[in-house]
A and B are shown apart, each in its own frame.
Chain A
Amino acid sequence: MALPIYASPLQRVWHYAFRIICGLIFFFLVFPIAVIIPLSFNSQDFFTFTPEMLALDPEGYSLKHYVDFFTNPDWQQAMWNSLSIAPMATLVSVSLGTLAAVGLSQSHVPFKRLIMAILISPMIVPLIISAAGMYFFFSRIGLQGTYWGVVLAHAILGIPFVIITVTATLVGFDNSLTRAAASMGAGPMRTFFKVQLPLILPGVISGALFAFITSFDEVVVVIFVGSAGQQTLPWQMFTGLREQISPTILAVATLMVGLSILLLATLEIMRRRNERLRGMSPV
C-alpha cells in the first residue's frame, strides 16, 4: 500500500482519499460501541451527553447506573441466570460437538455433506422459527420454562460454531500422530486425551467461546423456551429497551463490551498459539 515515489498527483490524492474512506468506515464500526461507554457514566438519567459531561466536569459523571445494576435484584437475578445457563450450554455443545467433529474429520464418512448440513442448520434457520419449534417440543416433554430446557436449546444453537472451529483445526491435524500413539500401545481414549485433544485445544477453546457468547447473547429462543425464572441478561435488556428504557442498560452494555474484549483477547492468544504449533509440527 506504500505510495511509490513516481506516483502522479491524482494517485496521491486517491491514496489519501482511500485511507480517509477506510478510516471513516472503521469509525462507523467502532463508534457506536465506543459511545455507550462514556454515556454509561452519566450522572443524569439521560441517553445523551449533558453539558456537564461535555465540559468534562466530574459532577456530570457518576457510577450510579453501575450501582443500580449491582443492587437491583432483577438485574442481579438476570446476571446469575445468564452465568448459570451459558457455561452449562457451552459444556454440552463442546463435548458433543468435539466428539462429532473428530468423527467427521475421519477419511471415510458416509453422507458427510448431509451430516454436516444438518449439524450446521441451527445457525442458518431463522431464530424465530427455531424458537417456535423448540417451544412446542419442549412443552410436550415438560422442559419448557425449565433451566435444562434453556440449556439444551442454547446448546443446540452453539453446536454449529463448535463444529466449524474444531473441524477447521482438525484439517491441519496429522493423523500419523494418533497412529504413532496407537502403535505404542495407547488405547483410543488415551490417544484422544493425551495426543489429539492437546493439539486441537485452540480450536476447541475458540469453539467454546463462540458457544458461550451465543448463549450469553441469545434472546429470542430464551423468551420462547424459558419462563420468568430463566430471565437472562439479554432478555432483561430486551424488555428494558422495548418498555421502560433505563440508563442502567448502558452500564450493562459497557460491562458486556468488556466481556467481549476479554473473549476477543483470549481468542487472539489461542490463534497465535495455534499458528506456533502448526509451524512446529511437520506437514
Chain B
Amino acid sequence: MFQLFLIAFRNLGTHRRRTLLLGGAIAGVTALLVILMGLSSGMKETMLRSATTLATGHVNVAGFYKVTAGQAAPVVTGYPKIIEQIRRDVPELDYVVQRGRGWAKLVSDTGSMQVGVGGIDVQDETAFRRVVQVKEGSLDALSQPGTLLVFEKQAKKLDVKVGDTVTIVAPTMRGTNNTVDVRVGAIATDVGMMSDFNVFVPSATLRSLYQLRDDTTGAILVYLKDLKQVPHVQARLRQKLAEAGHVLMDNDPRAFWFKFEVVNREGWTGQKLDITNWEDEISFLSWTLTALNGLTGVLIFVLLVIIGVGIMNTLWIAIRERTREIGTLRAIGMQRTRVLVMFLFEAMTLGVLGTLTGAVLGLAVCLGVNAAQVTVPEVVAVFIMSDKLNLAVHAGSVIGAMVFITGCTTLISLIPSFLAARMKPVTAMHHIG
C-alpha cells in the first residue's frame, strides 16, 4: 500500500503544473471556507458576547410589577433576597448582577431620542467592562449617581461630550412624568444594534427617575461558567423560586419588551417573575445568524460543486494522458483495485496538501484581519454588534474543513479512478494520446 502511495505522490511531482493548478484551486476553496467560517463564528461570538453583556445574562430572573391591572412595569421587587437564593441554588454560577430597565426620552440641548435605559452597578460589571470600549471619559464615572454612558452614535446625534448634561424624561409607574439630569461620564464605541437604543446610568439614578425603592431592579442577570448548563439552571430556578413563594409567569421565549401587551391584558396585580435565557432575550436577532449561516452554506456548496467538477475533469484528462502507463502497470500484474487505490491516493494526497496550504493561508488572512482591526461598514456593524471585524478561527473547524474538502476531492476522483481501473491492458497499451 505504501508503494502505491509513493507512486501516487511521485505522479503528483511529475505533473507539477497540473498539481499546482489543481492544488491551488483546492487551497483557494479551503482558505475561503476557513475565512467564511471564521467570519461566521466571529460574528456569532461578537453578537453573543455583546448581547449577553449589554442586554441579557445567560439566564435572567426578571418580571413585571403591576400597580393596576392595565399598567405593567418591568420591575423585580426585593431583588437582594432573590440574588441570595440564586447564589445558593445555582452552583454553576459564574457571577450575578442586577440591572434596572427603563424606556425614556434623552434630551440634550440640541436634540432628543427614545432609548432603553439600563441601570447598572458598574463596580460589579466585570464582563461589561470587557465588552464596552470607552472612547472618552471613564466607566468609573458611572460609580457616581447622576452620570450616563452613551455610545458614539448617540453622542453624535445628541451633540454631547463628556461633561455635558442631558435630561432623562420618563413616566413613573403612577403615570407622572419624571425627569433627572445626568452628566455624560463616558462615551463608548458603538456595539452594533444594541448601542443604537441602549444607554446606561447608575442603578440609583434609574431608581430615582422611576421613584423606586432601593431593593427593586429590572432584572437579575445570571452568568454561568458553562453555557450548556442554561436549560438545567433555568428549569431549576423556576422550580426553586416557585417553592420560595414567588409567582412565576408562563414561559414565553421572547425579549421582555414584547411581553408588555400580553402582561397588560392580564388581570393580575402585584409581582410576577419571568425566567428567560439569553436566546429568548435576543430572539429578535437570531434571524441574522440563521441568514449568515445559510449564506455561508450556499456559498460553500457552489464553490465545492465548481471545484468538484474541476477535479473530476482534471483527473479525467490525467487518466487519458496516462492510459498507456495504466496499460503497462496492468500488463505487469497490477490489480484493478490497486490501480483504483493508486488514483484515489493521488487525489487524496493532492487534497491533503491543497487543504493544508489553504488552511494556513486562511488562518493567516484571519489573523491579519484581526490584527489590522478592520472597521466594518455601519450597516454590518448594526448586526454584528461591533464596528471591528472579528474572525474567530477554531482548530476543530479548520481540521473539519480540511477533512471535508479532502474527502470531497477523494470521493469525486472515484469515478475517473474507477474508469481507469476498468481498462483492459491491451486497449490501454494501444491507446494513442
Do the two shown chains form a genuine complex with each other? Answer: no
